[in-house]
Structure 1
Amino acid sequence: MSSVGSLFQPLKVGSITIRNRIQMSALTRNRATNTVPTDLMKEYYVQRARGGAGLIVSEGTLITRQGTEWENAPGIWSPEQVAGWKKITDAVHAEGTHIYAQLWHTGRVSHPDAPQQKLAGTPVYAPSAISARGGKFRFLPGEPGYTKPTAIEDPTVIIEQYRKAAANAKEAGFDGVELHGANGYLISQFLDSNSNERTDQWGGSVVNRARFGLEVLKALKSVYGENVAVKVSPAGGYNDVGMALPETLETFRYFISEADHLGLSYFALLRYAPHMDIEIDGKLRATQHDIIDSYRSYIKNSKVFLNGGVGGEEGAKLVEEGKIDGIAVGFNYVTHPDVANRIRDGKPFDNAPNFPGMQIGTGDESQWNIGYTDYPTAA
């Protein structure tokens, strides 16, 4: 444990203290029944709490009905959903782990023909009427890509939806909320000049493009105080976002520094991840640059978790050097319920991924445990 010992020191995050510095990052797993969390989901989260996670961040949790690519993603707008999540948070707390809800609005990367979007009775909304390139809705006939969205008329309506989602998360027993500001979803779409061509106070300048995300964070803080976090992915790429490097640096340095002034519990910084990059017109979409070197100095009041293929030894070294406060582990948590314990004990990540079962979320629900809760812990 000596080489990774710095990851196993307690850490104060907002008003809570987590037992170690290993966070399970949000991972869409597509196992909710008609957007309501299930007992199978509870089993999944309990396994990972029991496996030593210091802080669990829930899978992306929709603040309102949307036609996402993940047909069985959970939401947090109804009493039934709150009750389902409460079972999960109580069970996670019983294992000595804390849990945040990641609040998610997919914006333009929803589809009007998806069943949940039809039930919502609303168009697919985005900052501007600009469609994302790429995408594939495998559960829809013909596997269509993204469509042209409707520009949001009044963004304050959606800011209120975020506030209400935070209130529901608090009722459901979550210790805090993480705003999903990464991976080309709604917050990213407002920040990015290629997806936001508004000419009002919500678009144009860096200040205006950052306004929506900052106002959402203020709304979340009105509910949760200091227990509000945000995840960002300045390198972009995924879901067709990304600007030239000078504009990327200017935009995210402003957004991060202004968000830090609000007094957040932490930033989750997703560094460039090749598997999340996409190729458009023969070119990779992402704006590759060093996330820690570019933005760490702009965070003065909040903790920092680094996400994106960070191993135990690398993460421990970065903690020792004062560059980060902890690591956020993604993919390995899909296939290993005991990530933290394996890092502590020097055990390999040797469970083979069950790719067909990983994002199943369709068909016979009695089979949803396959590739989900059936991965073994280390001996």
Structure 2
Amino acid sequence: MAKLLEPVVLGGTMPLRNRICMGSMTRNRCTDANKPTEVTLKHYVDRARDGTGLIIAEGTFISPHGAEWPHAPVMYDADHAAAWKKVTSAVHEVGGKIFFQPWHAGRIQNEEMPMLKGTGYPVYAPSKVPAKGGKFRTLEGTPGHTLNITEIEDPREIVEQFRRSVVLAREAGFDGIELLSQGGYLLHNFLCSHANTRTDAYGGSVENRCRFPLEVLDAIIDIWGSRAVGIKICPPDDYNDSAVSYEEFTETYTYYITELMRRDLAFINLSRRGCEIGRETDEYFRSEARSEGKELPPGYEPMAQFGSLVKYPGSRTMLMVNHEYTVEEAEKLIKEEKIDLVTFARPFIYNPDLISRIKRGIPFASNTRGGRVNYGPYQNPNDNYNDWPSSSGVVAEA
């Protein structure tokens, strides 16, 4: 795996030890007022110490009223930044790099969830269009996504919330930003015509539907500079009632990626969730067949459709790929110069020595503990988080 393990420079100035990235994963272990704790620190440091090229920290809400889950991290005030500073400093001490991922859940919320309910704010989204499905396991009766949505009156107010959060992320010592623009969450809500029925400058045409995500991105670039910023997108995504037709996402993402490339980003992270490849089967991530009118061409791969918009001679923006890639597949794509970086996510949960395994040719351990490893419940925050053995059978020490 020589190409996968070779050092690379991200954004022109940031050396990475290899081309392997740890993807963002909500794990609900921030039990101290939605701040990371020593448990969180250990999780990241173990994987940084093993040699991960770039860690993208778990999605972190820009405000308590943009949040969905209990014990998910928030970056809203100086206390949050100070808590994250301990994590980033520890990661740097072992030679790692770590990016911050700001996000807002948008319409994928329920107003009875304690953190949101405690703020007194409603569920905000581009339009009053509820998302289908959802399952809030911590609420009695496990209700779905809310039917009670308040349309965002002025999206620029949310842009400023993102700006405030990434300023705090800079104070917290992160190395850069990966903006989350997929998954059926707020930025993605604006992109999708069925979730965004606005008739003002933020809805209707492709250009208008892309306006809010691009304004958020520009606010982040204003703080961080473009070469320390990436974005995660997923054209065929079907998570959280986000699926649209092939024709719609082709038009949307051709324009969107073209605009992203004009901004000279460090990377674009292109996910293939929603495709037949890698369709999950566990209880938390099961994907059903795409509905009528939203089918994909046989063997569809977003990289094949959109990759050349990012990776071409003279482009300074790296192409990162995500979602159920194998080590062998990633190595081949890098050798063929089709991608620059690969993200592994869930394998990093139960392989704290994932990089060492690749170097030594040892297969990844698989999850033998079921869906609870993703979000809980747990008795101790270390459970299914910091208690996974390495390939030597030893659980790493902090």
User: Which blocks of at least 5 consecutive residues in structure 1 are unaligned?
Assistant: none
Question: Secondary structure in 1 aligned to 2:138?
Answer: coil
Matched, 1:274 2:279: yes
Q: Quick check: 1:11–1:18 contact (8 Å CA) kept in 2?
A: yes
Residue 141 of structure 1, CA deviation = 1.1
Amino acid at match of 2:338: K
- Counterpart in the other structure of 2:224: 224
Q: Quick check: 1:196–1:203 contact (8 Å CA) kept in 2?
A: yes
Question: Secondary structure in 2 aligned to 1:138?
Answer: coil
* Aligned mates of 1:134, 1:278 — CA distance in 2: 12
Q: Quick check: 2:163–2:219 contact (8 Å CA) kept in 1?
A: yes
Question: Secondary structure in 2 aligned to 1:6?
Answer: coil
- Counterpart in the other structure of 1:36: 35
User: Which blocks of at least 5 consecutive residues in structure 2 are unaligned?
Assistant: 393-398
* Aligned mates of 1:284, 1:309 — CA distance in 2: 25
* Aligned mates of 1:96, 1:281 — CA distance in 2: 42
* Aligned mates of 2:256, 2:375 — CA distance in 1: 36
- Counterpart in the other structure of 1:18: 16
- Counterpart in the other structure of 1:257: 258
Question: Secondary structure in 1 aligned to 2:59?
Answer: strand
1:9 aligned to which of 3, 6, 13: 6
Residue 356 of structure 1, CA deviation = 5.5
- Counterpart in the other structure of 2:395: none
Matched, 1:174 2:174: yes
284 and 104 in structure 1: CA distance in 2 versus 1, 3 angstrom threshold: farther
- Counterpart in the other structure of 2:382: 369
Matches within 5 A, 1:116-155: 116-148=115-147, 149-155=149-155
Residue 182 of structure 1, CA deviation = 1.3
11 and 198 in structure 1: CA distance in 2 versus 1, 3 angstrom threshold: same
Amino acid at match of 1:332: P
Q: Quick check: 2:245–2:295 contact (8 Å CA) kept in 1?
A: no
TM-score, with length taken from structure 1:
0.94
Q: Quick check: 2:102–2:178 contact (8 Å CA) kept in 1?
A: yes
- Counterpart in the other structure of 1:48: 47
Return the structure number with greater helix share. Answer: 1
Matched, 1:320 2:306: no
Matched, 1:113 2:112: yes
- Counterpart in the other structure of 1:85: 84
Residue 321 of structure 1, CA deviation = 0.7
Question: Secondary structure in 1 aligned to 2:2?
Answer: helix
Question: Secondary structure in 2 aligned to 1:88?
Answer: helix
233 and 356 in structure 1: CA distance in 2 versus 1, 3 angstrom threshold: closer
Per-residue CA deviations over 1:40-78 (Å, capped at 9, x if unaligned) read 000000111112210000000000113755211001112
13 and 308 in structure 1: CA distance in 2 versus 1, 3 angstrom threshold: same
Larger RCO (CA within 8 A; separation ≥ 6): 1
- Counterpart in the other structure of 1:197: 197
**Which segment is superposed worse, 64-73 or 106-115?**
64-73
284 and 361 in structure 1: CA distance in 2 versus 1, 3 angstrom threshold: farther
Q: Quick check: 1:351–1:375 contact (8 Å CA) kept in 2?
A: no
Q: Quick check: 2:6–2:19 contact (8 Å CA) kept in 1?
A: yes
- Paired residues in the alignment total 374
Question: Secondary structure in 2 aligned to 1:268?
Answer: strand
- The two structures, once aligned, show a CA RMSD in angstroms of 1.8
Q: Quick check: 1:31–1:73 contact (8 Å CA) kept in 2?
A: yes
Per-residue CA deviations over 1:134-160 (Å, capped at 9, x if unaligned) read 110101111110112211100000001
Matched, 1:291 2:302: yes
**Which segment is superposed worse, 299-308 or 257-266?**
299-308
Q: Give the share of equivalent positions with the same residue, in percent.
A: 40
Residue 353 of structure 1, CA deviation = 3.6
Q: Quick check: 1:25–1:328 contact (8 Å CA) kept in 2?
A: yes
Per-residue CA deviations over 1:174-227 (Å, capped at 9, x if unaligned) read 000110111111111111111111111101000000111111110000111020
TM-score, with length taken from structure 2:
0.90
Residue 19 of structure 1, CA deviation = 0.9
